[in-house]
Every structure is written in structure tokens, then in C-alpha cells.
Structure 1
Amino acid sequence: MQLEKDETQHAMNGPAADDAAVLFAELLEEYPYTEPKRGDIRQGTILWVGDDSVLMDVGAKRDAIVQRQDLNRLDESIIAGLEVGAELPVLVLRTAQKDDELIVSIKRGLEDQVWQTAQAAMDDKAVMELTVIGQNKGGLLVDYEGLRGFVPSSHVPALRYLRNDAREERKQELIGTEMPVQVIEVDRRRRRLVMSGRAAARHMRSQRLQELEAGQIVTGVVENITNFGVFVNLDGVTGLVHISRLDWQRVDHPSELFEAGDEITARIDSIDRDRGRISLNRQAVTPSPWEVLPTVHDVGEIIEGTVTNVVDFGIFVRIDVGVEGLVHNSELQPQQADAPFYAPAPGDTVRVRILRIDPDRQRLALSMRDIEPMWQVADDAEADAETEMTETEVTETEVTETESEPELDSEPVQPEADAQAETA
């Protein structure tokens, strides 16, 4: 039995083994290897990981080496993933000639992969959020998967309309922030990667416009105020609330109601996608004064209002909720013989009684009959004030006299006391 084992071992180590080695060498020579050339990108498999180098199979007759200086340039996340069996793209730095080693770079291989990704992103017009890592005279620098991208100042929306010192200060403030951009130029030979925030904003604006519909209720942030209305940012697109659609009551200037940064809710009245214009209506999402009126005032109630117009058949009066009511001529205060002549004029404050409220027809009937007019109320108030002042003066006089009486009474006390003393 032992003899058979010895014979088997001899056979394995003898001529048969030599023949197998020769056969393997011949097969290796016949295998259709494509020898790598400098600059080639190969997919490599890690065979061994050392402290200063990594050995990889890149499909060549000789294993490739990744040197320490290349490993030192890798991110920590990549270093952590370097283990036997891991596959990574590599770039051939030096081919194996004679006794030279085959040197490859993982760093350059990964960069090549990123360049390909950047090219695909440009072809697809993809929008991505990148971190601003620096700035120079011409614009901003952003990080794109380890590559440094350049965004010209003219392509940064946040720098629009800014000049000189203000622009430089704003660029510095943007460092560390996220910025939506599109790739607009890829030049791998010159290692040039150009991005555009303006193109990204335009692309996102187009997409956002497709999402919005007329009649939709939206909420945005006031970004600019003008004499004619308020511009509102709606997640990347801008809409306008015209001054006539800001409120049910008259607005002389939009700044009376809003300031930049305020949140505002409105209805989309119309969208012009070709011109990128959105018309908003804040009135549509706030209660109409005619809806509010019946909840705050009752028929028969006497209130104050302001005359807005005088016509042949009566006067129009605006009350506190912002609606105008009519005082028909038949409901005007009759002129009294002993009263001064009074004719209401625009701007006058008058007292009126509510006769009828019709929210559906938006009608408000008012009356000034049997109501003490404002001038009479003012006279009465003035008379009351004079009476109160007179009473105050009389009271003060009485108090003064009362305080002085004990001094007069005290004068005869001393003689009387002296007389009693003498009698005693």
C-alpha cells in the first residue's frame, strides 16, 4: 500500500509534473492577453493588500502594482474598501517591459470613471446638488465626486446684478453651501469641467412650471416688492400678485401688507409656460368683505363710515369691513330749522344705521334718519367736556375754601381759653 503511494508521489513530481508545467506555460503563451498600454483603463481585481502597495490582476501576463503615493491620494472611504477580491478601475501608468513592473493608479482610474459620469450627465442635462468648495476671480469651485468643477460668475444666479465688492463678498458666503448645477462642458484632455447654476435654474423652472396648474392654491415666499405688486418664489419659479389682487380693500402700496421674506398663500389664476409667467390672486383665498360683514354687524346697528361719493340719488359710505353702502336720499337726515346746514362730502365721517345686508347681490342699505349727526356728537362731547371742566373747577374751589376754614376758626380759640384760665 505504501509502495503505491510512493509511486504516485513520484509520478506527480516526475516527468508528468514537468510536462504539466510546460503545458501550462504553453497555454499561458497562447492565451489571448491584450497587453496594457500607458493610459489604458482596466478593471482590476485586488489580489493582495500591503502597507505600502496593492497587488492587482488587470488581465495581463503580469500582476499590476498600486504604489504608496497613489494610495495616499485616495479618500478614506476608498481605502476602507481595499480588500482581496474587490474590483476597481485603474489607469496604466507604466507598462511591464523586460524586468519593469506594471504600475497602475486607482486614483486615476476612479477619476476616469467620474469623467465618464460627467459626460453622461451633460448629455442627459441632469441637475445635481454640489457643494461649493472655493472661489476664484472668475467664479465658484464645486466638488464633483473628487473632481473640481468650475462655475463662472455669470452662471451663478445668486451673483446676478452684484458688482465688485458685493459680488466678492457674496462668493465667499456661498462657500460650504449646496448649489444646483448642470454640466455644460467636459474636456478631459485639459481636465476642464464647467458647470452652470443658471442652466440648472432654467431647467428646474421649466419642470416646476409643468407641475403647476391654473386654479391651484400655492404658498410661497415674497422675494421682491414693487409699486405694482408682489413677486413670490414658488420653489424655483416666480409668480406675481398684482396690487389689485392683494386684498379686498384698497392698497396704496404692497409694502403696507408685506415685506421680503414673508410667506404668502394665493391661487394661480393663469400660467404662461412659454414666457414663464404666473399670475397669482391672494383675494381668492381670503374671505370677501361681503362674507365677513354679516358676522360682525347686524341690521339696525349704528356704525361710523366714510363718505366716498355723493351722487344725485344719495351718498355712498364705506364702513370698517371695506364694503360700500348706499344712503338713499330718502334716508338722509332731514334738515332742521334750528340746525346748521350740513351737506356730506367725500372724506367726511358719518354715522349710519344698517337697514339691509344682501351678501349675494353685494348690496348694503344704510340710513342717516333719526341718528344724531357727527357734528352734534362732537358738540355734545365738547359740551360734556366743558361741563366736566366747570364742575372740576367748582370742586377745586370748594376744597380750597374747606381747607382754609380751620385757620379762621382757630383765631378766637386762644382768647376764650385765656378767659377760662383767668376765671379759674
Structure 2
Amino acid sequence: MVLRPVRKSQGKQAQDKHTKSRRDTSPKSSKKASFARSIRSTLSTSSGQAHSGQVSLRASDKKLSFADLFKASESKVPALKRNQEVSGKIVSVSRNELLVDIGAKSEGLLAGHELTAAADLVSDLSVGDPIEATVLYPENDAGQVVLSLRKLSGEKRWKELEEKKENHEDIDVVAMEVNRGGVICEYLGIRGFLPASQLVKAPSKLEDLIGKTLNARVIEVDKQSNRLILSQKQPEKKDLKEVVKLLSKVKIGEEISGVVTAVLPFGIFVEVDIEKEIGRSGDQVVRKAKKSEPDDLNTQKPDNLSKLEGLVHISEISWEKVEDPAKYFKVGDKTDVIVIAKENETGRLNLSIKQLSEDPFVEVSKDYTKDKEVKGTISRVTPYGVIVELTRGIEGLIHISKLPPNENFDVGQSVECSVEAVDTKSRKISLVPLARTKPVLYR
């Protein structure tokens, strides 16, 4: 008797096919599919290298086990880390997601909130376009690399803000928080500051502005320091001539007196009454200004066209490093300033306080000659080295390449160093730690 294999009925075959199809849609099958693509890519790469003479394929290579293939793919595809920058080409664009071939085991995925946050960028992209992104998560449940375009999007928006400032265009911002000095606003993910003194109609309580959309103009933008300053007070066209006249009475390098109207993390605003400060002959007239109360910031009066407001940036407050301007000034303080720049378009002044006096570094640095041994206290530990305060207002840097590998450095610690170099122009002193312990010698 001849035994014949029993064949599955067509219905059974269809059911098995349907069951397999359902299994293939699971995250695990997605991982397997991604891995299979990686294996094919690895083999095709190896094959291409063989044609170019870089790799010689043996006959035994055709009989690789699954473990061998897995090991080969692992060696070919580098591991990704969070916040790592990657580049690739877009392979798919849809309403809900964007897929990018970044040369990894699977495609990079941009979806959800990350897609919404970069909607203005994605709208201009299509399949085949090159793109740079940041790794948010090396692998999700489906084995895909989750990407973010926030860095690229942020760079584009900083550029937009610079253009808005140059073109004197208004922008809409959302009030997020308030503090004593004003309102912290957000523009497409970038946070800026709107001083209370720059509000046109300030409510009795600044907290009432939270969540509201405000129209303002960019008066200062700096991507490097992550600084965005806004203002609602802009001179009307009919008043612009008067403002320019006032600015023409002020000369760069001139010393004047003013009153602090706002103290912010990045500097202070100082208001100057030009008519009272500048005499007909151009000589200075000391102004007897009364201190303004902090509460007056919440009830701003209409602009007085004899007054101009200027910013003393945090870097212009003192020759020594300033961490918090509030430790130096408060609203209502009178202070002397020097004009370092004028902005005719906005009717504002750029002011400095530290330039009223000579830079102490020039004189003090004469005491720090090359190879001189000095003592100091560590004030900061940074990724690039250790900052040592040698005396008040004078600091030196021990570069990370000069630090001993087996020694710890902490803030407040006393250290002994030798002067390696002094750069008066950039106000930098390079230091090298002294080795007081003799190295252990091995025979």
C-alpha cells in the first residue's frame, strides 16, 4: 500500500495565510522585518565591497547561520545614543509620521508631538530630501529610532526672529509666566522676556496676562546666549522724528545719569531724561531723579518723548563676572552710564557701567608673569576646565587637558598653579596646576 502525504484543504491554507498575515503586523514582526532589511543591506554592502576588492567572499560565506548574520549586522550598524545628531534621506511622508533612512537597523521616525512641533519644517519636505535630526530614543516598541527636529526647527526660528528684528515686524507671543520685572513669553517654542516697563497697557496684576496672546516687537535677539527681548512700546511714525532728534543730542562715549526701570536676568534697563541730562552747550547736567517704586511697573504711564530707555547688558555691568544683576541694582536706583551704541530705528540706547572705569585686569595682570607660582580658589568647574579666582575680579583657567587624571577638583577648593600665559586683549590667564606629590616610580 502506498502512503501519500495529506494536503491541506484550500480553506485551511487560506486560514493559515490569514493567521500569518495577522502575526506579521505585530511589533515583533516589524522588528524582524527591519532586521531582515538590515541583513540584506549588510550582505549587499559586503557584496559591493567584494567587487571593489575590499572584501573577498568565500564559498563558505554563503552558508552563514542566523547567529552569524546577526553578528555581521551588529558590526556594520553603529549603536545610536540619545541626543546624537544623525543625517539621512526621507523615505516616507504622511500626515501622521515621517520616516527617514539614517543607515541604522530601522528607519528613523518623526511622529506625535515632535511632528507637530516641526510642522512648519515638515510641510516643505518631500521623499528623497536630505535631513538632519537628533535621536530622541534609540528604539521604540516597534524597533524604530525616534527622531526630533527641534534643533533644526529652533535654528530656523532664531533666524526668523533676527529677520523680524531687522524688518521691524511685530510677532505674536503667548504669556507663560510673570515675575517682578515683567512677562516671560513664548514664540514657537522659544522663550523671551517682555519687561513690564515695555508694556503699553499693563494690568494692575501682571498675572492676568498669563495665557494671553500679546503683540510685541523684537528689540534684542541672540541665539548663542538664548536671549530674546521684546517690547510693545514703539514710537509712532509721527514721533520718530522727535526720537531721532533726541538721539542726535546723545554722543557715543558720553556719560549720563539715569534711573533703573527693570532688573532682569540678562541685564538692567535704565531710563534717561535727555532734555535734563544734556545742556544746550552739550555739557552734562546731573539729574536729581527720584527713585521709582517697584509697584509703579504695573501702572505704566504714556511715554514722555524727552526720555529714552537703554539696556545695560549683564556683561556691561561690571568688569568682574556678574551672575545676578539683582545683587547689584534694584528698580529705582540712580546710576551713571556711558553710551556705547544708538539704535535710531527703535529709539533706544545701548549702555555700559563697567566702561566708566579702567579695566583692572590690565594693571593687575602685570603681576601675573609667565611661570609665576600663584594660589587661588576654584570658583567653577566646567566641561572645558576649571576656573580659578586668583583675586577679586581676576580669574584664570586650568584647561581640561592640563588637569591630572587621578585628581578631583571641587568648587571652593584651594589650588596652587603656575602661570602658563596671559592674554590681555581677551582677559584670559592660562594656568597649570603644580604637582606637589612626587610620582611613584616602578622598577
User: Is the shorter-chain TM-score for this pair beyond 0.5, marking a shared fold?
Assistant: no
Larger of the two Rg values belongs to structure: 1
- TM-score with structure 2 setting the length: 0.32
* Between structures 1 and 2, the one with greater helix share: 1
TM-score when normalising by structure 1: 0.33
1 or 2 for the larger relative contact order (CA 8 Å, sep ≥6)? 2
